[in-house]
Amino acid sequence: MKVVLFCGGYGMRMRNGDADVIPKPLQMVGPRPLIWHVMRYYAHFGHTEFVLCLGYGAKQIKEFFTTYSETESNDFVLRDGKVELLSTDISDWSITFVDTGLETPIGERLRRVRPHLKGDEFFLANYADVLCDAPLDAMIKEFHDFGAAASMIVVPPQSSFHIVDVADGGGVTGISPVSDLPLGENGGYFVLSQEVFDHLPENGDLVADACTALAAQGKLYGYRYDGFWKPADTFKERAELDAAYSDGTRPWAVWEDRGVTA
């Protein structure tokens, strides 16, 4: 299945120092940028055809891949002046780069890459700013078993705040952590069918328009997942992931289970 990555936003919540000039997908987590980790996750499950919805930072993202050096993270033999790789990261990937605009909503970005999904009844999509170790094969299977037109991973509320119940007179009757509520958040990992385009208006939103319409028809599936899921939506979150990578705590790197290290 092809994987659509939404990687054209400004990343305003990550603005800090170099983040003002480096697009969020290229912010580093360990020795490689965030988008590389997301793509390696999908490649681990056999999905190596990517469609990048570009906007802000398009030039830098293109340059990262067109000048990619496999020798930085793979063993190799230098023989007679020629490099013979012993392993590879991205040589079997197919990456389509599509300029979808600077101010474009996510739903419209998806509409603009639809020609590149022609012939694909089902495809995957991702915000490209979240790392996760969810079993993608199981996610796809449950999507098909349910007969859904679209599905999203649903994770527990991530906020550390508390919900406060206040009576009419002002007295507090209860305090509960947000994480204890029987609710879920959209985790940004989608399995979609072509039917999603039937509910995407021009300049629309994938969740607010298409997913909401499909939910009303009973065609949206929520894959509940309580395992590792962490966004890199802010500078602090990205720094936490970078630190976790450095100390070897990187559950999202599912490809390392097969003995492949970054």
Query: What is the rounded average pLDDT of the residues 232-261?
Result: 84
Assign domain 2-156+184-258 to its CATH superfamily: Spore Coat Polysaccharide Biosynthesis Protein SpsA; Chain A (3.90.550.10)
CA triple 13-44-187, angle to 5 deg: 35
Q: Is the pLDDT of residue 21 over 90?
A: no
Q: Is the pLDDT of residue 117 over 90?
A: yes
Give the pLDDT score at 13: 47
Query: What is the rounded average pLDDT of the residues 237-241?
Result: 92
Residue with token string 């078993």? 145
Q: Which helix (H) or strand (E) holds 104?
A: none
Predicted TM-score (pTM) of this structure: 0.87
Give the residue, 259 or 237, on which the prediction is more confident. 237
C-alpha separations of 194 from 25, 108, 121, 124, 126 in Å = 26, 14, 6, 11, 16
Query: What is the rounded average pLDDT of the residues 238-255?
Result: 93
Give the pLDDT score at 109: 97
pLDDT, tens only, 181-198: 777 899 999 999 999 999
Q: Is the pLDDT of residue 18 over 60?
A: no
Give the pLDDT score at 11: 57
| Average per-residue pLDDT for the chain | 90
Q: What percent of the chain has pLDDT over 90?
A: 69
Looking at 48-52, 127-131, 137-141, which range is the least confident one?
A: 127-131
Smallest Cα–Cα separation from 110: which of 6, 30, 250, 220? Answer: 6
Give the pLDDT score at 20: 54
Which DSSP state fits 209? I
Give the pLDDT score at 16: 53
Length of the chain: 262
CA triple 154-214-35, angle to 5 deg: 45
Please classify residue 168 by burial: count the beta carbons closer than 10 Å to its beta carbon, then call 0-12 exposed, 13-18 middle and 19+ buried. Answer: exposed
Dihedral sign (CA 157, 135, 189, 242)? positive
